[in-house]
Amino acid sequence: MGLGLFYRHCRNRRAVLPAVRAALICSTIEDLTKQDEYAGAIWAIVEIDDEEPDRTPERINVSLPRFVLRKLDRFAEKRRETRSGLLARAAVELMAHG
């Protein structure tokens, strides 16, 4: 995981790169906001996942009750998705919003 920094409505857009560098060595964003060159900027620290996902399909063996599998297949068919695609999308969404 890494931290990304972004800004909005900065008076001096050329100050962005130095601001990022300064943020890495500065103890708080409050210290940066006191500097005139960053006045009016809106700061946020955002957690990002910098790992590139490996999208290579991998076969797995999963046991589900028959009624769940039938409902899953009907649901996927209505959405014009594959069973695998639906399960993958549902898993990613569940992990993201948990």
Span 28-75, pLDDT tens digits: 777 777 878 777 777 777 777 777 778 899 999 999 999 999 999 999
User: Sorting pLDDT into bands at 50, 70 and 90, what band is 13?
Assistant: low
Which helix (H) or strand (E) covers residue 78, if one does?
helix 66-78
For the segment 72-82, the average pLDDT, to the nearest whole number, is 97
Higher-confidence residue of 98 and 94: namely: 94
- Contact (CB, 8 A) for 91 and 58: no
| CA 52 distance to own-chain centroid | 12
- Contact (CB, 8 A) for 43 and 4: no
Task: Provide the pLDDT for residue 26.
Answer: 54
Among 49, 2, 53, 6, which residue's Cα sits nearest to residue 29?
A: 6
Q: State in Å, rounded, how far the first CA of the chain is from the last one.
A: 18
Positive or negative: CA dihedral 94, 76, 80, 57:
positive
Q: In the chain, what are the domain boundaries?
A: 2-48, 66-97
pTM: 0.50
Is pLDDT above 60 for 12? Answer: no
User: Sorting pLDDT into bands at 50, 70 and 90, what band is 1?
Assistant: very low
